[in-house]
Amino acid sequence: MSTDIRANLDAERLATGFFEQTWQPIIANQPEAVRSHLAAERVLVAALLADSGYRTVVEAGCADGSLLASVILNAGVGYLGLDVADGAVRACAAALRDLAESAGRPLPPAVARRADIRDLAAVLGGRGAPSTPPVLTAFPFNVFGNIPEPRHALKAAASVSADALILTYDTSTDARALRDEYYRACGFAGVFTVDEAGVHYEDGLFTSSVYEPAVLTGWLEELGYAVTVTPYGRVGLAYHGRRGR
């Protein structure tokens, strides 16, 4: 990242504007293979929360709340959704209201906030934001792979003593084919590259990386997390990083 403050601010505004324009197509245009992947993701999260003891889950890149919000609230856990796109946050807040009205029973506290995951410490301590420990920071649907500085996101979670759950793909050819179909359905026409860190896709401002297990596990372990890696669906991998409590 540039050391020029104005350049950094301009880059962040550009990125935020990009996600404001694209979050709806990214959520709406899901081929059947992606819908199946997300269904398996929700089953895994529900099973993890059933006996985890977590009291709050922060969903990074919550979009319209359709990824994990209902699973988290149905597990009896407080929910804090974060997204950099204003439209996504408004849609998530509306979805949370709908969930509360249709539940027929009291649900745990749930709010959506416009914020970058790197600012988690400030948001989690803010007024009205669920923050009862133990806290889990969840990155659904390869949101972690869309973050330009992913290690900063993990440091933000570690700074508030939150556990981390990264839901992503494996680096197989099947996963690459699924991703390619999905990105094209979203209107992207980028290219894949492969290096020692993983399999990366880029089309202008849109980037999406899937990291090698050793790389991602290493980043978590450097921050003091004990890591469990669990396959799910056809090509999914869940990295659950737990801090000693």
Say how far apart CA 36 and CA 49 lie, in whole Å: 20
pLDDT tens column, 116-154: 999 999 999 888 899 999 999 999 999 999 998 899 999
Residue 14 confidence (pLDDT): 45
Residue 113 confidence (pLDDT): 96
In sequence order, the 6+-apart residues with CB closer than 8 A to the CB of 138 are: 45, 57, 58, 59, 60, 68, 72, 164, 165, 167
Mean pLDDT over residues 46-71, rounded? 96
pLDDT tens column, 185-226: 988 999 999 999 999 999 988 889 999 999 999 999 999 999
Domain boundaries, the chain: 5-242
Q: Which residues pair with 240 in a beta bridge?
A: 165, 228
Average pLDDT over all residues of the chain: 90
pTM: 0.91
Q: 5-242 in CATH: which number?
A: 3.40.50.150
Give the number of other CB atoms < 10 A from CB of residue 148: 13
Mean pLDDT over residues 56-63, rounded? 96
Least-confidence region, from 24-28, 41-45, 82-86, 196-200: 24-28
Taking alpha carbons only, the member of 209, 245, 205, 243 closest to residue 224 is 243
